[in-house]
Structure formats: structure tokens, C-alpha cells
Amino acid sequence: MTNWWWVRHGPTHEKAFTGWRDVPADLTDTMRIMRLRQYLPKNALVVSSDLIRAVATADAIADGRNRLPHSPELREFNFGDWDGLTFEEVAALDPALSRAYWETPGDISPPNGESWNAASKRVTRFVTTLNTLYPARDIIAVAHAGTIMTQIQNAGCLTPQQAILNKIDNLSVTLLSWQEDRGQIQMINHIP
């Protein structure tokens, strides 16, 4: 069984959509970082999204663990033209599309952005590759709320509408296990 210890990056304090926009994480809560570092398995591999907020968080919790190269496959959803806008601004700009994007996730995408299904396919392809390369290992993946929710969907055989209901806090741990191509949800949004 391959265990994926999904960690959401440290807080950004952004009040707008933050997808592929590269903003830093606030990692000043050193006690919380230390608890997280101690909680995660010592022999795990560490991988992260290539966005700076995930890279810096992964570096902060690596603690001598084997670090794999950052991957764009683990990025947050690409919010396209919505990136950098607030929810209110997006709703005012295109009320029907923004409502449909959140209420019926699937093939709907923001202008010049990415749908739930496209993001899920991208992340799942990466997870499947690492499951093949590193069977029966612990993998700590530092990523983003949307990225983690796509894998909750896949491991739990959920719909996007069910998966999007999960809360994923900054610096939380979600543990998903894979045996061959069967997933299992162990825990969601645990704060060590």
C-alpha cells in the first residue's frame, strides 16, 4: 500500500482566487511547522507543487527526508482570468458561470482556466506514476486545497460535488492510501 500524506501549504493571506499565481506562504508559525514535521513519517519521500508556497512549505517540513523534484502536475486549479479576483468580483463579472463552476464542478472552467475534471486528470496522472515508481512507500505531497480534493474524490470514489465539500486547512494532513488502483480515505484535514 502506498500512503499519500497530503499537506496543504502554509497560509498565503490572499483574499482572492489564488491558483497558478505564485504567491509566498507565511511559515512564521514555527511551532506548528515543528509539530507537522514530527507528525509525518520519517522515512517518507517528499514532493511538492512547483509553486513557491508549496515548495517553501515542503522545504520547511522535509527534515532530512528524501526530496523529489517539484512538479507542476501538483499545482492548484488554474483559475485563468479569475486568478487574483475576489469571489465577489468573479460573481459580479459572470454570475451564471461562477455559480455553475462551484455548484456543479466537472467540465465547467473559468475563462482561460481549467475545469475540475482537467485538474483531477492532471493530478491523478502524477499520483499513478509515483504509485508505480514507489510502491508501498509513504509519500508526503505538499500541494493545494483543490489538488487534495481531487484525490479525495479519486480515493473515495466520490463525485466532484461530494469532494468539494471537504475543508482543507493550511498545514493540515489528509492521508489517502492506494493499493494497486484502489484508493482508501484514512483521514481528512487533520491538524497535528
Express each pLDDT in 132-179 by its tens digit: 999 999 999 999 999 999 999 999 999 999 999 999 999 999 999 999
| pLDDT of 44 strictly over 90 | yes
pLDDT for 73: 98
Q: Which residues of 60-99 are buried (b: 16+ CB within 10 A; e: fewer)?
A: bbbeebeebebbebbbbbbbeebbebeeeebeeeeeeebe
pLDDT for 28: 97
Residue spans of alpha helices (H) in 63-143: 87-93, 95-103, 116-133
| Over residues 119-134, mean pLDDT | 97
Residue spans of alpha helices (H) in 40-94: 52-62, 87-93
Sheet strands side by side (includes 2-8): 66-67, 45-48, 138-143, 2-8, 173-179, 182-190
| pLDDT of 180 strictly over 90 | no
Give me the CATH number covering residue 58.
3.40.50.1240
Angle at 134 between CA 132 and CA 140, to 5 degrees: 120
pLDDT for 129: 97
* The total number of residues written for the chain in this structure: 192
DSSP annotation of 81 reads G
Which long-range contacts (C-beta less than 8 Å, at least 24 apart) are formed by 66-72? 68/130, 71/47, 71/126
Collapsing DSSP to helix, strand or coil, 26 comes out as coil
pLDDT for 42: 97
Count of domains observed in the chain: 1
**β-pair partners for 96:** none
Q: How confident is the model at residue 74 (pLDDT cuts 50, 70, 90)?
A: very high
pLDDT for 181: 83
> pLDDT of 80-111, one tens digit each?
999 999 999 999 999 999 999 999 999 999 99
| pLDDT of 77 strictly over 90 | yes
DSSP annotation of 10 reads P
pLDDT for 150: 98
Q: What is the DSSP string of 158-190?
A: --HHHHTTS---TT-EEEEEEETTEEEEEEEEE
| Over residues 118-136, mean pLDDT | 97
Question: Measured between alpha carbons, how far is 41 from 159 in angstroms, rounded to an integer?
Answer: 30
User: What is the pLDDT of the chain when averaged over all its residues?
Assistant: 97
Q: What residue numbers bound the domain in which 22 lies? A: 2-190
| Over residues 24-46, mean pLDDT | 98
Q: Does the CA dihedral 159-161-167-171 come out positive or negative? A: positive
